[in-house]
Amino acid sequence: MPEILLATLNAKYIHASFGLRYLLANMGDLQDRTALVEFDINQRVVDIAEALLTHDPRIIGLGVYIWNAQQTSELVQVLKRVAPEVTLILGGPEVSYESHEQAVCQAADFVITGEADLKFAEVCRGVLRGEPPAGKIVAAELPALESVSLPYALYDDRDLATRVVYVEASRGCPFTCEFCLSSLEIPVRAFALEPFLAEMEALLGRGLKHFKFVDRTFNLNLNTSKAILEFFLSRYQPGHFYHFEMVPDRLPEALREVIARFPPGALQFEVGIQTFNPDVSTRIKRRQNYDRLADNLRFLRTQTGVHIHADLIAGLPGETIESFAAGFDQLVALGPQEIQLGILKRLRGTPIVRHDTEWEMVYSATPPYELLRSKTLSFAGMQRMRRFARHWDLVVNSGNFHEAASLIWRNADSAFHAFSAWSDWLYAQMGRNHNIALNTLGEVLFTYLTRERALDPEPVANAIYRDYLRVGRSDKPALFRAYITVPDRPEQSSPPKSLKRQSRHAAAAS
Tens digits of residue pLDDT in 495-505: 444 557 787 78
Return d(Cα 269, Cα 247) in angstroms, integer: 9
The Cβ of residue 8 has, within 10 Å, a number of other Cβ atoms equal to 23
What domains appear along the chain, each with residue ranges and CATH number? 4-145 (3.40.50.280), 165-345 (3.80.30.20), 378-510 (no CATH)
Return d(Cα 156, Cα 159) in angstroms, integer: 5
What's the whole-number mean pLDDT along residues 117-133? 98
Q: How confident is the model at residue 472 (pLDDT cuts 50, 70, 90)?
A: confident
Express as a percent the part of the chain with pLDDT over 90: 89
Query: Is a pLDDT exceeding 60 seen at residue 253?
Result: yes
CA distances from 126 to 2, 92, 120 (A): 17, 20, 10
Residue 177 burial (C-beta neighbours within 10 Å; 0-12, 13-18, 19+)? buried
Half-sphere exposure of 165 (CA within 13 A, CB side): 25
User: What integer pLDDT is reported at residue 344 of this predicted model?
Assistant: 98
Return d(Cα 324, Cα 416) in angstroms, integer: 9
Query: Is a pLDDT exceeding 60 seen at residue 491?
Result: no
Q: What is the DSSP string of 377-435?
A: S-HHHHHHHHHHHHHHIIIIITSTTHHHHGGGTTT-S-HHHHHHHHHHHHHHHHS-SS-
What is the tally of helices (H) and strands (E) in the chain?
A: 18, 16
CB 229 within 8 A of CB 258: yes
Q: What is the CA radius of gyration of the chain?
A: 25
Return d(Cα 135, Cα 199) in angstroms, integer: 37
User: What integer pLDDT is reported at residue 65 of this predicted model?
Assistant: 97
Query: Is a pLDDT exceeding 50 seen at residue 494?
Result: no
For residue 187, say if its preceding peptide bond is cis, omega within 30 degrees of 0.
Answer: yes
Return d(Cα 443, Cα 146) in angstroms, integer: 57
CB 456 within 8 A of CB 407: no
What's the whole-number mean pLDDT along residues 108-128? 98
Q: For 214-263, list the strands marked E by DSSP.
A: 241-246
DSSP three-state, residue 101: helix
Q: Is the dihedral of CA 248, 251, 257, 259 positive or negative?
A: negative
Tens digits of residue pLDDT in 389-400: 999 999 999 999
User: What integer pLDDT is reported at residue 503 of this predicted model?
Assistant: 77
CB 324 within 8 A of CB 359: no
- Predicted TM-score of the model (pTM): 0.93
CB 87 within 8 A of CB 58: yes
CB 65 within 8 A of CB 41: no
Return d(Cα 355, Cα 362) in angstroms, integer: 10
